[in-house]
Amino acid sequence: NFVIRKEVLDQLGGWDEEAITEDSELSIRMYMNNWRIKFIPYAVTYEQEPERWDVWLRQRTRWVRGNNYVAKKFFGLRKEIKSTRLRIEILYLFAMYYIFFVAILMSDFIFLLTATRLVSIPLPGPYNMVWILAVILFFGEILLALSYDREDSPRAMWYMVLMYFTYCQLWIVVVAKAFYLDVVLKEKRVWVKTVRFRVEPD
């Protein structure tokens, strides 16, 4: 969530109605105009996660397609961007989902090939240690966020293990779908309202 001053929005030329991830799009335009964005760590907001897989898929696909648009838009304006840091930020926006996508695919592919003994890797190296460190980093960052909110329970730990083998794999479908809609079909981007569910009071 974010708050923006009306006069700043007016000076930026208003909303970009093509952007469905308007926060990242506006942020880059603000940086291009030498404005700063203040991060307030103690302003915490909570949001509902989708309860159904179809709702989750639509929401995450919108996120990826929104990033695709922002990356493409500002890559075309790269000559106008003088800040090296901002150029790296735009590259990160584009690469964020696709590096993750390639990493998961490669990990799955190598795991299946080695598990079925269809191929072996003769090169010596600390592969087990690298894999263990990757798992520790994955769980560590989630555990850090959970402990900050005081939700680091044994049940949450079990969900983390389950997520490693399920949730992460589902991003393959999300990124592939977004790429297909944007690059192959060139389908118009539309805002998809995330379906919320009723929470009964305690």
Residue 159 lies in a domain: yes
Residue 64 lies in a domain: yes
Residue 92 lies in a domain: yes
Which of 65, 66, 5, 63 has its CA nearest to residue 38?
5
Residue 197 lies in a domain: no
What's the CA gap between 110 and 112, in Å, rounded?
6
What's the CA gap between 70 and 91, in Å, rounded?
10
Residue 75 lies in a domain: yes
Number of domains observed in the structure of the chain: 1
pLDDT value at residue 15: 93
pLDDT value at residue 201: 63
Residue 193 lies in a domain: no
- 149-175 residue pLDDT tens: 777 788 888 888 888 788 888 999 999
Contacts of residue 106, defined as CB under 8 A and 6 or more positions apart, other chains included, come to none
Residue 201 lies in a domain: no
What's the CA gap between 49 and 195, in Å, rounded?
9
Q: Which residue numbers in the chain have pLDDT < 70?
A: 121, 123, 125, 127, 199-202
Tell me which residue range forms the domain holding 152.
6-184
